[in-house]
Amino acid sequence: MMIRFPLALLALAFGGAVLAADGPRLHLIPEPVSVTERAGSFTLDAGTMIRVSSQDPDLAQTASWFADQVHTTVGKKGKINLELNKESDAELGKEGYTLSVTTAGITIKANAPAGVFYGLQTLLEMIPPGGGAIPCADIRDYPRFGWRGLMLDVSRHFFNKNEVERYIDEMARYKYNTFHWHLSDDNGWRIEIKSLPELTRVGAWRVSRTGRWGTLLPPLADEPADDGGFYTQDDIREILAYAKARYITVLPEIDVPAHSLAMIAAYPNLSCTQLLYPVNPGSRAPERQDNVLCVGNDSVYLVLQKVFGEIAALFPNPYIHIGGDEAYKGFWAACPKCQKLMKDEHLGSVEELQSYFVKRMEKMLNGLGKKLIGWDEILEGGLAPSATVMSWRGMSGGITAARMGHEVVMTPWDYCYLDLYQGDPSVEPPTYGICRLTDCYKYDPVPDSIDPKLIIGGQGNLWTESVPTFRHAEYMTWPRAMALAEVYWSPKSKRNWDDFTGRMEAELPMLDAEGINYARSAFDAVALPAHDKLGRLAVRFTTEIKGLDIYYTFDNTRPDSHSARYRGEPLEFPKGSTILTVTTYRDGKPIGERISLTKEELEHRSQEKHHEY
């Protein structure tokens, strides 16, 4: 197969890394294992073509994917060569590649088509703005972890098929290979189950609300449930094929036994109380609202057998995620069916009852040819024999599971939750917690004293209570997911924050060219309030990215480069002042947000355990 692409379309489609006047000319994310830059360049022109040396159908599809990005036609000559190794290179594995750019042409070699695909992603980053000359270089690259994922919650807010596919495209650029799809929760059931039509007829819809999650008005009497949506099984198949062409596997999650209100709204007999509940539109849940499946009810397992049976038939991923998190067990303690089951199975606590449920789910999934994975709460009461743990409540759950010999996907909330604040809350859309770009980049998924082979990878998680639109989903994802991509792909020894931020900045024009929304929060000032020995409030400032100047005012005016410049010493409020305003500049030009913080807010932050907003 030979494919031709016109140079002008390359420039239109990709943008790429910014060529520096001196120093390295390549700005790649994630950073490859080895890069040797050489003198000279390869010039793309209208006659440049691709040549594929193998008849492998996946490789042919990958070449066609690359061609489609630039609207190519088939030609007969090739100066970009895509090759599969005749003898396997053990170090490269299934996803590694070598890429060589000389003045005469480009060659990408790999053991498998996935490696060629990742080599092409690197090549796309090497194309400079305007197309043309690609710097000569030899690159050898392979991932540190086999599981490199992002999770998108489509229950709290529904994203249509085109938006999901766009998210998958954005993941592929940074060599992610797992799309974790959170398909059910209290706020919406998002996948068609043909044998259980009420799940989507009722569970996929709620009353329409706009505003801050957790404060919204509950459904009113006779109010239509017209907000929501779901994916048909044909939609699922199309998305799966789309992801497969980009070497991304899709992990489906049905969150049970808790977070099941949308399922219970469709089938009220599945809860302990069997009360009628509407799908929650984002209002604060009553303390006694039962969103947990009745573990002692045989009907629950009959329904779940149908649900997971259809999901197992749809999704090729060897895993199915069952959630297992945040299960309130008070209803189980008062439920005659659950209490009978505990007696019959000799279970001493409701925690052991949850373990019974998880182990039963594992047997069900194993019978469907799948492996179970769940959040770290599945450890409570005893872990199912072959379960994989996704550790979100910090690293401790993953450490416990690994010491028991179980495989672990690390996704601790304070480093990997993309729905948290990424900059100062005063200038960010409302959410909770804090996870800066720095936090994402500087964490490591492998704890000390743990067998690294049991940490199979990690992922970033985007919960969408506070993410009502796809544009905002992009804003919360990028550039933090660039940092996580490097954590999961690149060698730990190559981790360098200052180098990463330079490469990240070189990548931002590509995002602009593609219309991808992203946050510039890392360019903002970071406030560090505390009290001195005399109990007086003092505020220090720093920045995540080096080389920025901070200017400030206390007099309610807007600071600029003519205002007082922050010199590193703690600032105290002058008498009568109640507001401190800061902004950041680089080379005399504004680069960060203007942030105004009241003395009262800073006092409050200084009392908090984690106050580095």
- Catalytic positions, please? 185, 259, 326
Strand partners, 97: 141
Q: Which of 220, 10, 238, 219 is nearest to 129 (CA)?
A: 10
4 near 74, Cβ under 8 Å?
A: yes
Structure tokens at 139: 């690159």
Structure tokens at 476: 């919360």
Q: Is the peptide bond before 425 cis (omega within 30 degrees of 0)?
A: no
As a whole number of angstroms, the distance between CA 257 and CA 378 comes to 11
Beta strands (DSSP E) in 216-258 are 227-228, 249-256
As a whole number of angstroms, the distance between CA 587 and CA 592 comes to 12
Q: Is the peptide bond before 257 cis (omega within 30 degrees of 0)?
A: yes
Q: Which of 30, 35, 308 is nearest to 177 (CA)?
A: 30
483 near 148, Cβ under 8 Å?
A: no
Structure tokens at 150: 């992002």
The H or E element containing residue 563 is none
Our measurement of the distance from residue 259's CA atom to the centroid of its chain's CA atoms, rounded to an integer in Å, reads 20
For residue 199, give Cα distances in angstroms to 195, 196, 229, 304. Answer: 10, 6, 11, 12
Q: Which of 557, 555, 543, 536 is nearest to 586 (CA)?
A: 543
Our measurement of the distance from residue 60's CA atom to the centroid of its chain's CA atoms, rounded to an integer in Å, reads 29
Site of tokens 């901070």: 550
* Amino acid making up residue 4: R
Exposure on the CB side of residue 149, measured as CA atoms within 13 A: 25
As a whole number of angstroms, the distance between CA 264 and CA 258 comes to 10
Query: Both ends of the chain: CA-CA distance in Å?
Result: 54
Q: Which of 391, 494, 497 is nearest to 441 (CA)?
A: 497
Q: Which of 172, 147, 150 is nearest to 247 (CA)?
A: 172
For residue 329, give Cα distances in angstroms to 38, 265, 293. Answer: 63, 19, 10
Strand partners, 391: 410
427 near 595, Cβ under 8 Å?
A: yes
**Crossing angle of helices 113-126/161-173, nearest 10°?**
80
